[in-house]
Structure 1
Amino acid sequence: MTSPAGNAFSSLEWGRVDLSQVPSITVPPPGPLSQQQHAQCTRYFKGLSSQVKLFPVAFESGQGCVLRDVDGNRYIDFSSGIYVTTLGHCHPKVSEAIARMASQLMNAHDFTTPVKTQLMEKLAQVLPGDFHGFQLYDSGTTAVEAGIRVLRAATGQHEILSCFYDYHGKTYGSVSLGQIRSHVYGAVRAPGSHMLPRPDTYRPMWTKADGTIDTDKYLEFYEQYLNRATVGSVAGFVLEPIQGWGGSVMPPDDFFPKVRQFCDRHRILLMADEVLTGWGRTGKWLCLEHWGVVPDVVTIGKGFGNGFPVTCVAVREPYKESFESISASSSYGGNPMACAAALASTQVIEEEGLLAHAEKLGRLALRRMQRMHQAHRIIGDVRAKGCLMGIELVKDRTTKEPFDQAGALVYQRAFRKGLAWIPAGHILRMSPPIVMDEDTLLKGLDLIDEAIGETERELGYR
Structure 2
Amino acid sequence: YVTTLGHCHPKVTEAVRKYAGIMMNCHDFTSEIKTRLVEKLAEILPGDLTGFQFYDSGTTAVEAGQRVLRAATGKHEFLSCFHDFHGKTYGAVSLGHIRSFVYGPCRAPGMHMLPRPNTYHPMFTRRDGSVDTDKYIEFFDEYIDKATVHNVAGFVLEPIQGWGGSVMPPEDFFPKLRKYCDDTGILLMADEVLTGWGRTGKWLCMEHWNVVPDVVSIGKGFGNGFPVTCVAVREPYKESFESISASSSYGGNPMACAAALASTEVIEQENLLARATHLGELAMKRMEKMKAAHPIVGDVRARGCLMGIELVKDKDTKEPFDEAGKLVYQKAFAKGLAWIPAGHILRMSPPIVMEDQVLLKGLDIIDESIGETEKELGC
Q: TM-score range by the shorter chain?
A: over 0.9
- 1:418, distance to aligned residue in structure 2 (A): 1.5
**Residues 258-282 of structure 1: CA distance to partner in whole angstroms, max 9, x if unpaired?**
0001100001100000000000000
**Distance in structure 2 (CA, Å) of the matches to 1:457 and 1:181:** 32
Contact 1:245 1:424 in 2 (8 A): no
> Which position in structure 2 is the counterpart of 1:391?
309
Matched, 1:323 2:213: no
Q: Which residue of the other structure, out of 196, 199, 209, is the alignment partner of 2:117?
A: 199
Matched, 1:95 2:33: no
Residue identity matched to 1:287: C
Q: Which residue of the other structure, out of 332, 335, 352, is the alignment partner of 1:414?
A: 332
> Which position in structure 1 is the counterpart of 2:345?
427
Q: Which residue of the other structure, out of 301, 304, 318, is the alignment partner of 2:219?
A: 301
Determine helix, strand or coil for the equivalent of 1:423: coil
> Which position in structure 2 is the counterpart of 1:151?
69
**Residues 227-261 of structure 1: CA distance to partner in whole angstroms, max 9, x if unpaired?**
11111111000010000000100000000000001
Matched, 1:351 2:272: no
Residue identity matched to 1:235: A
**Distance in structure 1 (CA, Å) of the matches to 2:341 and 2:172:** 29
**Residues 359-387 of structure 1: CA distance to partner in whole angstroms, max 9, x if unpaired?**
01101101110010000001110000000
Q: Which residue of the other structure, out of 280, 288, 291, is the alignment partner of 2:198?
A: 280
Residue identity matched to 1:276: L
- 1:423, distance to aligned residue in structure 2 (A): 2.4
Q: Which residue of the other structure, out of 277, 281, 288, is the alignment partner of 1:363?
A: 281
**Distance in structure 2 (CA, Å) of the matches to 1:131 and 1:195:** 27
**Distance in structure 2 (CA, Å) of the matches to 1:95 and 1:241:** 30
Contact 1:237 1:270 in 2 (8 A): yes
Residue identity matched to 2:310: E
**Distance in structure 2 (CA, Å) of the matches to 1:137 and 1:223:** 34
Q: Which residue of the other structure, out of 150, 170, 177, is the alignment partner of 1:259?
A: 177
Contact 2:329 2:342 in 1 (8 A): no
Contact 1:242 1:248 in 2 (8 A): yes
Tell me the TM-score normalized by structure 1.
Answer: 0.81
Matched, 1:456 2:374: yes
**Residues 261-312 of structure 1: CA distance to partner in whole angstroms, max 9, x if unpaired?**
1100001100000000000000000000001100000000000000001000
Unaligned runs of at least 5 residues, structure 2: none
**Residues 109-142 of structure 1: CA distance to partner in whole angstroms, max 9, x if unpaired?**
0111111110000000010011111000000000
Residue identity matched to 2:102: V
- 1:181, distance to aligned residue in structure 2 (A): 4.3
Matched, 1:126 2:57: no
**Distance in structure 2 (CA, Å) of the matches to 1:290 and 1:274:** 13
Residue identity matched to 1:146: A
How do residues 87-236 of structure 1 correspond to structure 2 at under 5 angstroms?
87-236=5-154
Contact 1:138 1:311 in 2 (8 A): yes
**Distance in structure 2 (CA, Å) of the matches to 1:370 and 1:294:** 32
Determine helix, strand or coil for the equivalent of 2:26: coil
Give the percent of matched residue pairs that are identical in Structure 1 and Structure 2.
77
**Distance in structure 1 (CA, Å) of the matches to 2:280 and 2:99:** 34
Determine helix, strand or coil for the equivalent of 2:341: strand
**Residues 417-440 of structure 1: CA distance to partner in whole angstroms, max 9, x if unpaired?**
111111231110111100011111
> Which position in structure 1 is the counterpart of 2:253?
335
Tell me the TM-score normalized by structure 2.
Answer: 0.99
**Distance in structure 1 (CA, Å) of the matches to 2:237 and 2:29:** 22
Count residues in correspondence: 379
**Distance in structure 1 (CA, Å) of the matches to 2:129 and 2:322:** 26
- 1:443, distance to aligned residue in structure 2 (A): 1.0
Unaligned runs of at least 5 residues, structure 1: 1-82
Runs of 4+ in 1 over 6 A off after TM superposition: none
Please say which structure displays the higher CA radius of gyration: 1
RMSD between aligned residues: 0.7
Residue identity matched to 1:417: K
Residue identity matched to 2:215: V
Determine helix, strand or coil for the equivalent of 2:91: helix
Contact 1:130 1:316 in 2 (8 A): yes
**Distance in structure 2 (CA, Å) of the matches to 1:172 and 1:112:** 30
**Residues 363-418 of structure 1: CA distance to partner in whole angstroms, max 9, x if unpaired?**
11011100100000011100000000000011111121111111111111111111
**Distance in structure 2 (CA, Å) of the matches to 1:442 and 1:346:** 26
